[in-house]
Structures are given as structure tokens and as C-alpha cells.
Amino acid sequence: MSEIISVNDGNFESFIQGDRMVIVDFWAPTCMPCRLMEPGLEKIAASHPENVRVLKVNVNENPKTSSRYFVRTLPTLLFIKDGQVRTQIVGAVNPVQIEKTLSEVS
């Protein structure tokens, strides 16, 4: 079973390369919608162990990564493949909406 991987400014790059779809969850401890989205993201990670990798970036501790992608509002989800951003979702969403976006960009 696949889990959400917590990444930082230092190791972020190494996790987004390759042809596997990567979902990056930008969050902060004070962001309540972010927290309520987490069970849904765990579900996504668990149901796509082979082809989707779910990462989380704490924006308070990793300003480099959040400013690189112009993240200025939380929660923000980026969908990255081969190192390129395919799409993003801004605002709280549930696993059904994430699955829908995944099928659109995969």
C-alpha cells in the first residue's frame, strides 16, 4: 500500500521525475481545509500504488518549492508528470474530484 510522502525543498526534485503521475499537496498546519483533505489523499495514494505518487509540502518550511510553482493559496494540488505540471486544483476537494482530474490528465 502506498502512502503520502512528506518532501522538502532539498529532495523535492528527485521525487517528481519519471513518468509516474505525481500529486503534490501544498499545505500548512494552520490550514483546516488542508487537514480535512488528507484522508482523501491517503485514499488516492492507497488506490493507485503503481502509477500515482502523492507528495506533501509544508509551505511554511519549504518556501522555495512553493514559490517555484507560484503557490499563493492553500490548499493547492499540482499534478506533475515527467517533471512538468499538467494541471492544478486550488481549494479544498474530495477524492472523487481528484480521481476525476487524474483520469483527465493521465
Partner 1 sequence: MDKNWDVIIIGGGPAGLAAAVYCGRALRKTLVLEKKVFGGQIVFADIIENYPGFAEPIVPADLMEQMSKQCERYGVVLENDEVQALRMEGESWLVDVYQNTYTAKAILYAAGSMHRFLGVPGEQELLGRGVSVCATCDAPFFLERKVAVLGGGDTALSEALHLAKYAAEVTLIHRRDKFRAEKILQDRVFKNGKIKVIWDSEVLAFKGGQRLEALEIRNKKSGVAEAVAFDGAFMAIGTIPNTELLKNIVTLDENGYVVTDISLRTEANGLFVAGEVIRGNRRQVAISVGMGVQAALGCEEYLAALD
Residue positions annotated with a catalytic role: 31, 34
Burial grade of 67 (CB within 10 A; 0-12, 13-18, 19 or more): exposed
Q: How far is residue 9's CA from residue 89's CA, in Å, rounded to a whole number?
A: 21
Binding partner 1 (rule: CB under 8 A), the pick from 1, 50, 84, 96 is 96
When asked if residue 73 is in the footprint of partner 1 (CB under 8 A), the reply is yes
Helices (H), ranges, 3-105 = 12-16, 32-47, 63-68, 95-105
The verdict on 87 binding partner 1 (CB under 8 A) reads no
Kindly tell me which residue out of 35, 56, 81, 86 binds partner 1, with binding defined by CB under 8 A: 35
Interface ranges with partner 1 (CB under 8 A): 28, 30-37, 40, 59-60, 66, 70, 72-75, 90-97
